[in-house]
């Protein structure tokens, strides 16, 4: 698989506290001085582009809480070799920022939305942000971000009741609603009934809306499989990251906000590129490391390298 997709975590700070995003023992915030500045991120993006990366996604933490993130989007969109800049957000600040993000060159956006019911939404995120997130989604569609995807992580005992409501959003809105299997952030979690396998989600949706029609979504499809409710404006996607291992088709690599490169989300393996940057390494030296990581990624398996415990907001989900 050609590795051409870089996910950049721009901050470990977040304005929500989602239950599924936290490790069992909460992790400290990274010292500000340790967070890569925009010049460092842009330099790395340029060098990654030299190594074959042509798509980037900003994530976090919550990327929209980082000051001047619109300027970073513009810088990345203007980088030679980067054809596609996308972003994943919880949508809390999206309503006021969508137009500027679009103007800066953002092409696509994913918005996390795990419930359409206010109490349930608060139980998951710890916040009462549902109305502004919904307004943010409408605004993103309105300014022409294309496609807008809604990401829902399902936890059986918390928001499995939301499956039909969330799937139904794709009836009238040109949205892609994706159901993501919850993945534990600790190796010590026992085999559990906490997640809802995508096969079960599909059965629940089909019982209500009829047989789903398989469809192909091209830009940034990644590990998701897509289908549609008949005559719907949007589509539905499934990301079966727990019940299926997609290591062999994984084209992504991650840069953490404190300057470590992780070839696999679940892997304990990471490479400190910040020290190289800050010690004045040449472009050629850094490029050599990036190429080495990209080549080695092919031989990694999430199963044999699973981290004991990790913090999603630090690594960037």
- State in angstroms the smallest separation of the CB of 63 from ligand SAM: 7
Q: How far is the CB of 90 from ligand SAM (least distance, A)?
A: 4
Nearer to ligand SAM, 21 or 148 (CB): 21
The helix or strand, by DSSP H or E, that contains position 89, with its residue range, turns out to be: strand 84-89
DSSP helix/strand/coil, 80? coil
Q: Copy the structure tokens of residue 315.
A: 């690594």
Nearer to ligand SAM, 60 or 237 (CB): 60
Shortest-Cβ-distance residue relative to ligand SAM:
317
In the complex, the smallest distance separating the C-beta of residue 243 from ligand SAM, rounded to whole angstroms, is 12
Q: Which two tokens stand for residue 62?
A: 């919550």
The C-alpha atoms of residue 104 and residue 161 are separated, in whole angstroms, by 38
DSSP label at residue 223 = T
The tokens 């850094």 sit on which residue? 286
Closer to ligand SAM at the Cβ: 46 or 55?
A: 55
User: Whose Cβ is closer to ligand SAM: residue 8's or residue 229's?
Assistant: 8
- If the CB atoms of residues 107 and 185 are measured against ligand SAM, the closer one turns out to be 185
Interface contacts to ligand SAM, rule CB under 6 A: 14, 20-21, 59-60, 62, 88-90, 112, 151, 153, 180, 182-183, 185, 312-313, 317
Cβ at position 87, least distance to ligand SAM in Å: 8
CA dist., res. 51 & res. 137, Å (int):
34
DSSP 3-state helix, strand, coil percentages of the chain (rounded to 5)? 40, 20, 40
CB 109 within 8 A of CB 89: yes
**In whole angstroms, how close is the CB of 51 to ligand SAM at the nearest point?**
24
């Amino acid at each position: 698989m050609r590795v051409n997709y870089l996910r950049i975590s721009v901050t470990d700070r977040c304005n929500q506290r989602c239950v599924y995003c936290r490790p069992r023992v909460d992790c400290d915030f990274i010292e500000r001085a340790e967070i890569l500045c925009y010049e460092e991120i842009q330099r790395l993006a340029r060098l990654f582009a030299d190594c074959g990366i042509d798509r980037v996604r900003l994530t976090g933490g919550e990327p929209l809480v980082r000051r001047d993130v619109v300027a970073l989007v513009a810088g990345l969109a203007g980088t030679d070799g980067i054809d596609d800049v996308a972003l994943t957000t919880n949508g809390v600040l999206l309503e006021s920022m969508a137009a500027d993000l679009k103007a800066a060159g953002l092409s696509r956006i994913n918005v996390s939305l795990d419930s359409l019911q206010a109490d349930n939404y608060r139980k998951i995120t710890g916040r009462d942000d549902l109305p502004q997130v919904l307004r943010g989604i409408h605004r993103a569609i309105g300014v022409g971000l294309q496609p807008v995807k809604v990401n829902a992580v399902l936890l059986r005992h918390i928001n499995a009741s939301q499956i039909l409501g969330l799937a139904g959003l794709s009836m009238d809105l040109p949205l892609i609603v994706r159901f993501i299997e919850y993945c534990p952030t600790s190796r010590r979690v026992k085999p559990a009934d906490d997640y809802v396998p995508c096969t079960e989600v599909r059965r629940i949706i089909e019982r209500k809306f009829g047989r789903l029609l398989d469809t192909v979504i091209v830009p940034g499809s990644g590990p998701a499989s897509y289908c549609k409710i008949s005559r719907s404006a949007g589509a539905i996607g499934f990301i079966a990251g727990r019940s299926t291992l997609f290591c062999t088709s994984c084209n992504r690599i991650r840069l953490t906000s404190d300057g470590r490169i992780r070839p696999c989300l679940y892997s304990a393996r990471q490479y400190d590129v910040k020290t190289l940057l800050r010690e004045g390494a040449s472009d050629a030296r850094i490029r050599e490391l990036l190429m080495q990581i990209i080549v080695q990624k092919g031989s990694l398996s999430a199963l044999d390298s699973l981290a004991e415990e990790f913090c999603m907001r630090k690594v960037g989900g």
